[in-house]
Structure 1
Amino acid sequence: MENAVALKDALGARFDRLKAGEDGWRELADAGVLGLPFAEAHGGLGLAAREGFAVLELLGERAIALPYLESVLLAGTLLDRAGGDHAASWLPRVAVGEARLAFAWLDDADPARAEREATGWRLGGGKLLVIGAAEADVLILIAQSDEGRAAFLVPHDAVAMKAYPTIDGRRAADILLDHVSLPASARLALTPNDIAQIFDVGAAAVAAEAAAIMARLVTDTRDYCRDREQFGQKVSDFQVVQHRLVDMNIEARRAAAAATLAVDALELAPGPRAKAVSAAKVAVADAARFVGQNAVQLHGGMGMTDALPISALFKRLTVIESEFGGRDEHLARYMALA
């Protein structure tokens, strides 16, 4: 906990000094956190991916849209775990900010599939909403094979993609795999359980990020209500507003507790891990909607503008509700495991 606080303080100071238009990714590289979950042999710090959640929390509560989760904690962790020549070649460059990875996992209507060829693999189908794909040098792509889900390292220029902005200020792309041929070495040495675990890491990560965002929303909304006057008195003096702020704080704290339990469960066996992560995702989805909507409402018209960070924070919470599985999907998984 102390290490996480120290990391957030150090990074926060760096971003406080960042001027408009400067590269936030460069700040992450200079702070040494781009290699946080990689083995020392790959230029990293050898820490667990969960240690990087403090970075996500800082980026989330400051409404800074950078693909740290997808590039480093997910794609990078998978590549590090697979090892081999690809990891030795790419990860030291990622750690110093000279290269970027993207994580292509969400299937479109024609799911990504991998078929063996005489000299390697042929990929077909497509992927949706690949965060940071246009800026990435290579993709870590999940496709269905005869042996289950498999992960492949795919060069950026081997696929067709359509890039676009997301509502929460990030950049994404849809990817078309039009008979993409890859060498046998492109398949990473990962098991289906490795891939399932990284999805749970992603869900737990956005739960932790959402909890940090909600804490910021509660604080900002409280301060705004204390400053704003209506009918000759502070808005925060109205009893109904006080009750609303208390309810927002309770929901934010409940989400934070659920997220903490999910993060602590990441090293457990698949069943308990999945159950804790799904419980957290359901709790966070419910709390995020309540806290976000009430924050916007209590800010009035200012909550809908870009003049305050409230709008960007609300948009990010809205995206997190469905990211790495929506509420209903995780509720169904939790009930199946109960």
Structure 2
Amino acid sequence: MDLSYTETQDMLRDTLARFLADTYDFETRKKMIASPEGRDPGIWRALSAELGLTSAPFAEEYGGMGGGHLENLIMMEELGKVIAIEPWLQTVVIGGGALQAVGGAVASEVIPRIIAGDCVIAWAYAEPTGRYDLANVATTAKKDGAGYVLSGHKAVVYAAPWATHLLVTARTGGSQRERAGVDLFLVDARSTGITRRDYPTVDGFRASEIYFENVAVPAEALLPGGIDLIERIADEAAMAVCAEGTGIARKLLEGTVEYTKQRKQFGQPIGKFQALQHRMADMLVEAEQIASMTLMGTLKLGLPAVERKAAVSLAKAKVARSIKFVGQSAIQTHGGIGITMELAIGHYFKRATMIENQFGSADVHLDRYEALTLAA
């Protein structure tokens, strides 16, 4: 099997890497996080309207380059290397992925806006009591004439303070944990009845608690597909954060190796000590396994649901455990300085810690893989 990337994919990676090298150094990122908005909107405009990178995973009928999951993997890995706070995951992978999956008039309207940089989508799916169960949804969508009325509370909605649209899971029927009756709605973030409580997250992003109080949405806001569509985009999102984790793991290793060359003890660089050499060798192995498992899972996103879920769960479980090892090893090697705000390594570790549990921890995915295996 040829696992090399195409010339176009290599070009996309190089374009993004060069742009980020010029515009997204660590000090610039810190300033963006500390700003009132929590980001620089000009970066998103440059990625989309100027460089056209947001078009990479979309079909040509929407104005895209005709790519797919591998293009998202490439972009997320490069964004991970600078721990970028751009809403690529929420807007391109999740929002754009859901719209492209269902097609229709709404996709034809919104995807070109994503490509142009005029649209930011936030996925409002998590609830205070939901844990990792995508079917545990208390938010309701009640039929009202030709449309629906949404009511409920969504928690830790990443990128919501910047969003033009919210992708909302809501229950149109059934009981709270029943798979049947859970649907997906694309809602204008400025709709009457929506209130937000915004806050910074530990990994540098902005998120919100969102409350829906009798929010009227038109019938076309309902994206067909139900829980199957929701699980599909959750799997795609899981592999995207694994790709981001690939870039982060490599930077954690790179930063650790560089530090051990500079830090001296007993008259020599600590990198000469065999115990630390063994640890860094183990970090390298785990970082490469993260990359391999991420590629494997991404390549299987197009398979039938059971096979896709099994592949994603194996990959996410491995990545969760490996990125924890790489992150903790990096911090332990640096010592106390590794968790200071001034040093980049601590910021990479924070994002790695979030990735470990985002869209399912290792235990959650191993449980899902076991259930899938027993049911086969």
If the TM-score is normalised by the length of the shorter chain, which range does it land in?
over 0.9
Q: 1:253 aligns with which of 271, 278, 288?
A: 288
- Give the unaligned 5+ runs of structure 1: none
Does 1:6 pair with 2:26? no
SS of structure 1 residue aligned to 2:349: helix
Query: 2:121–2:166: 8 Å Cα contact kept in structure 1?
Result: yes
1:177 alignment partner in structure 2 = 212
2:44 alignment partner in structure 1 = 25
SS of structure 2 residue aligned to 1:157: coil
SS of structure 2 residue aligned to 1:162: strand
Query: 1:14–1:27: 8 Å Cα contact kept in structure 2?
Result: no
1:195 alignment partner in structure 2 = 230
- Compare 305-314 and 17-26 and name the one that shifted more: 17-26
TM alignment of 1:4-83, pairs within 5 A: 4-18=9-23, 20=28, 23-29=42-48, 30-83=50-103
Q: 2:153 aligns with which of 119, 126, 145?
A: 126
TM alignment of 1:198-209, pairs within 5 A: 198-209=233-244
**CA displacement 1:175-204 (0-9 Å, x = unmatched):** 111122222121123343222111110111
- Compare 202-211 and 106-115 and name the one that shifted more: 106-115
**CA displacement 1:20-63 (0-9 Å, x = unmatched):** 46532122112212222333232222321331121111111112
- Partner letter of residue 27 of structure 1? A
1:231 alignment partner in structure 2 = 266
Q: RMSD over aligned Cα, in angstroms?
A: 1.8
Identity of aligned residues (%): 36
Query: 1:111–1:127: 8 Å Cα contact kept in structure 2?
Result: no
Residues in 1 aligned to 2:206 and 2:70: alpha-carbon distance in whole angstroms: 24
Residues in 2 aligned to 1:88 and 1:251: alpha-carbon distance in whole angstroms: 41
- Compare 124-133 and 111-120 and name the one that shifted more: 111-120
Residues in 2 aligned to 1:181 and 1:213: alpha-carbon distance in whole angstroms: 41
- Partner letter of residue 144 of structure 1? R
Residues in 1 aligned to 2:44 and 2:225: alpha-carbon distance in whole angstroms: 28
Does 1:293 pair with 2:320? no
Equivalences, count: 338
- Give the unaligned 5+ runs of structure 2: 33-39, 130-136, 174-179
1:282 alignment partner in structure 2 = 317
Query: 2:235–2:312: 8 Å Cα contact kept in structure 1?
Result: yes
Query: 2:87–2:120: 8 Å Cα contact kept in structure 1?
Result: no
- Partner letter of residue 206 of structure 2? R
**Taking structure 2 as the reference length, what is the TM-score of the superposition?**
0.85
Query: 1:50–1:205: 8 Å Cα contact kept in structure 2?
Result: no
Residues in 1 aligned to 2:210 and 2:65: alpha-carbon distance in whole angstroms: 32
**CA displacement 1:242-276 (0-9 Å, x = unmatched):** 11111111222222222121111101111111111
Runs of 4+ in 1 over 6 A off after TM superposition: none
- Compare 11-20 and 239-248 and name the one that shifted more: 11-20
SS of structure 2 residue aligned to 1:214: helix
Q: 2:106 aligns with which of 74, 86, 93?
A: 86
Query: 2:83–2:348: 8 Å Cα contact kept in structure 1?
Result: yes
TM alignment of 1:297-336, pairs within 5 A: 297-336=332-371
